[in-house]
Chains A and B, each alone.
Chain A
Amino acid sequence: MSYILRRVLRAILLSFAVSALCFLFTEMAPGSFFDEMRLNPQISPETIFALRSSYGLDQPLAVRYARWVKAALHADLGYSIAYNMPVRPLLWSRAKNTLLLTVSALALTWLISVPLGVWAANRRGGWVDKAVALGSSFVISVPELVIAVALLALVVRWRILPVGGMMSADSDAFSTLAKVQDLARHLALPVLILVLCEIAIIVRHVRASVLEVLGATYVQAARGLGVSQGRLLFRHVLPVAANPAISLLGFSLAGLLSGSLIVEVICGWPGLGPLLLEATLSRDLYLVIGGIMFSALFMIGGNLVADIMLIAVDPRIRKEGADAR
């Protein structure tokens, strides 16, 4: 399976490239964490210098990068200056929440959009198809931020869902089941916003690729041999149509992740978003790099999964360049 090997190698190379760029850009960004301290007359330049060297910030960029990579390979992502604690536990406590949000939004998006896209394509020109076309053009044309704020306003006005945080204040007293329910209610709004922003594009892509495959000669041929419509759709059409859709999976993951960072800030979800925003504003160097690297690894991993899923679905890729005909 040299295909998988190549994809994995590519993913690793990509991770290094991202980390290098990340270092370079944070270096190029103006200001540093200690700039505010400099304005404070009570802290002497010597103290600042000592602090800088204690965090290793007086070293040249290449050395810092090499050190960081070496440490990161041992799962040590450095030290947060602002929180005065290692980056990894800090990041992980927030990343869990972002993962929960992103993965549930991703699952929901695909669970809704694939059947909907297939249905719309199968009944082309029917009411489902028209509704999907209308709804998706509406969602695509409205800026995501507007959707998020509008939904937030509706939810606050009607008091249907709790807003802010991921648990109710008194949740410690709940039973396990009640805790899960409470979490789900808090999760509902940010997930809804994310799904709504992402789903329109994916439904359209699924519909288009299913339609294309439905018109293929081999589907007509299978129909001419008496294969039923349901079997035709799910056994003959969907595996072929899945190819472009799966490629889209990685893309949608990127969209959801970057979307969730914003939605978290809007909805007060204690994920990476608010943390990263804060860290960026205060120039908390290693926290920013750690956060970005986490997001990047998540996306690279997601794309890797999509690539591997492609082989499972499409035998033509398994053969890619394997032999000369």
Chain B
Amino acid sequence: MGGNLPNMPTYSPTYSSGGGSSESLLRVTGLCKRYTRGSLWRKRVAVAAVVSADFGISRGQTLALVGESGSGKSTVARCVARIERPDAGQILMQGADIAQLAAAALLPFRCRIQMVFQDAVTSMNPRFSALEVIEEPMRIRRETVHDRRDRARALMIEVGLSPDWMHRSISNFSGGQRQRIALARALTMRPQLLVLDEALTGLDVSTQAQIANLLIDLQAAHRLTYLLISHDLALVARLADLIGVMAEGRIVEAGPAQQIVSDPEHPATKKLLASAKAAAGKLTRITGASL
């Protein structure tokens, strides 16, 4: 397992962070996913969303995949969460390859890997109450009403929502609150890995900070591992231990967050960093905050 790939000199997949914990949770090698376009009368064209991606995450770590829209980062997330079946490559979850598992064999892994999306509203039935949304996965697993209620209540408190609101319908919650509900729902399965696909995008500055803090607290409390997908390098730098920069379906640069931000090598990284700094630069000139 591991070893450098010849076509990617800048990235060593065997990298482990200085965080101490080196118990590997997830290892992805040679991941490839193509989409075909066309129809009965038209020639089929394969469009590669992910050409080749290799990375590993240790237990309790956060790996962020950053890149511009269309770089393939969301496809990687969807493959890891096995919403998509990759065309090639391995996805080793604690040693077991889940890349090609069929639905039934996948079931135990579905609980261990949970996904949270950008727009929590679209992944929830707007007519459901907060409680119904949170306990939905438990209901599917046929847990008793009593257990479900207790756990939903505890999780609501943990993600910072008053349990008094559990019967309110989803449409009455703000964007930040819905994201908290989405996190609570993901946690009902006691997952080890959370795949956060742009889960902080589109939120207000202050709400984003709240959810980011919540993610940090939850990670510490449950020893969670995060695969964080974002286009915002500045935000990611605060949350991630490791950053992988994606461009055109490949991870073009990867390393500890600190290193990526202070010493970028690949042009794609430099471009992302430059636009993050350009936005920040004007503000820091006024406020005097240091980069």
A residues near B (Cβ < 8 Å) are: 2, 5-6, 9, 321, 324
Q: Are B47 and A321 in touch, CB under 8 angstroms? A: no
CB neighbours (8 Å) of A2 from chain B are 41-42
Q: Are B37 and A6 in touch, CB under 8 angstroms? A: no
Q: Are A6 and B45 in touch, CB under 8 angstroms? A: no
Give complex CA distance A107, B35 in Å.
Answer: 45
CB neighbours (8 Å) of A6 from chain B are 40-41
Apart from A6-B40, A324-B45, 4 more pairs, CB < 8 Å:
A5-B41, A321-B37, A321-B39, A321-B42
Give complex CA distance A2, B41 in Å.
Answer: 8
Q: Kindly report which residue of chain B lies nearest to residue A323, judged by CB atoms.
A: B37
**CB-CB contacts below 8 Å: B190-213 with A:** none
Min distance, Cβ A313 to any Cβ of chain B, angstroms? 21
Q: Which of A2, A5, A321 has the most CB of B within 10 A?
A: A321
B residues near A (Cβ < 8 Å) are: 35, 37-42, 45, 47
Min distance, Cβ A3 to any Cβ of chain B, angstroms? 9
CB neighbours (8 Å) of B41 from chain A are 2, 5-6, 9
Give complex CA distance A109, B45 in Å.
Answer: 44
Q: Are B42 and A324 in touch, CB under 8 angstroms? A: no
Give complex CA distance A321, B38 in Å.
Answer: 6
CB neighbours (8 Å) of B42 from chain A are 2, 321
Min distance, Cβ B219 to any Cβ of chain A, angstroms? 35
Min distance, Cβ B264 to any Cβ of chain A, angstroms? 28
Give complex CA distance A9, B42 in Å.
Answer: 14
Task: Find A324's partner among B39, B40, B47 (CB 8 Å cutoff).
Answer: B47
Q: Kindly report which residue of chain A lies nearest to residue B70, judged by CB atoms.
A: A325
Give complex CA distance A6, B37 in Å.
Answer: 17
Q: List 14 A-B contacts (CB under 8 A).
A: A2-B41, A2-B42, A5-B41, A6-B40, A6-B41, A9-B41, A321-B37, A321-B38, A321-B39, A321-B42, A324-B35, A324-B37, A324-B45, A324-B47
Min distance, Cβ B69 to any Cβ of chain A, angstroms? 11
Give complex CA distance A9, B41 in Å.
Answer: 10
The 10 closest A-B pairs by CB, nearest first: A324-B47, A6-B41, A324-B37, A321-B39, A321-B37, A2-B41, A321-B42, A324-B45, A321-B38, A2-B42
Give complex CA distance A203, B97 in Å.
Answer: 57
CB neighbours (8 Å) of A324 from chain B are 35, 37, 45, 47
CB neighbours (8 Å) of B37 from chain A are 321, 324
CB neighbours (8 Å) of A5 from chain B are 41
Q: Kindly report which residue of chain B lies nearest to residue A325, judged by CB atoms.
A: B70
Give complex CA distance A6, B40 in Å.
Answer: 9
Give complex CA distance A6, B38 in Å.
Answer: 13
Q: Which of B38, B40, B41 has the most CB of A within 10 A?
A: B41
Q: Kindly report which residue of chain B lies nearest to residue A322, judged by CB atoms.
A: B42
Give complex CA distance A2, B42 in Å.
Answer: 9
CB neighbours (8 Å) of B40 from chain A are 6
CB neighbours (8 Å) of B35 from chain A are 324
CB neighbours (8 Å) of A321 from chain B are 37-39, 42
Q: Kindly report which residue of chain A lies nearest to residue B42, judged by CB atoms.
A: A321
Min distance, Cβ B225 to any Cβ of chain A, angstroms? 33
Min distance, Cβ B242 to any Cβ of chain A, angstroms? 30
Give complex CA distance A321, B41 in Å.
Answer: 11
CB neighbours (8 Å) of B47 from chain A are 324
Q: Kindly report which residue of chain B lies nearest to residue A2, judged by CB atoms.
A: B41
Give complex CA distance A2, B40 in Å.
Answer: 12
Q: Kindly report which residue of chain B lies nearest to residue A3, judged by CB atoms.
A: B41
Min distance, Cβ B73 to any Cβ of chain A, angstroms? 17
Q: Kindly report which residue of chain A lies nearest to residue B37, judged by CB atoms.
A: A324
Min distance, Cβ B189 to any Cβ of chain A, angstroms? 34
CB neighbours (8 Å) of B45 from chain A are 324
Give complex CA distance A110, B45 in Å.
Answer: 41
Give complex CA distance A188, B3 in Å.
Answer: 84
Give complex CA distance A5, B40 in Å.
Answer: 12
Min distance, Cβ B42 to any Cβ of chain A, angstroms? 6
Min distance, Cβ B48 to any Cβ of chain A, angstroms? 10
Give complex CA distance A9, B35 in Å.
Answer: 27
Q: Kindly report which residue of chain A lies nearest to residue B39, judged by CB atoms.
A: A321
Min distance, Cβ A8 to any Cβ of chain B, angstroms? 11
Q: Kindly report which residue of chain A lies nearest to residue B45, judged by CB atoms.
A: A324
Min distance, Cβ A5 to any Cβ of chain B, angstroms? 8
CB neighbours (8 Å) of A9 from chain B are 41
Give complex CA distance A321, B37 in Å.
Answer: 7
Q: Kindly report which residue of chain B lies nearest to residue A320, judged by CB atoms.
A: B39
Q: Kindly report which residue of chain B lies nearest to residue A9, judged by CB atoms.
A: B41
Min distance, Cβ A288 to any Cβ of chain B, angstroms? 33
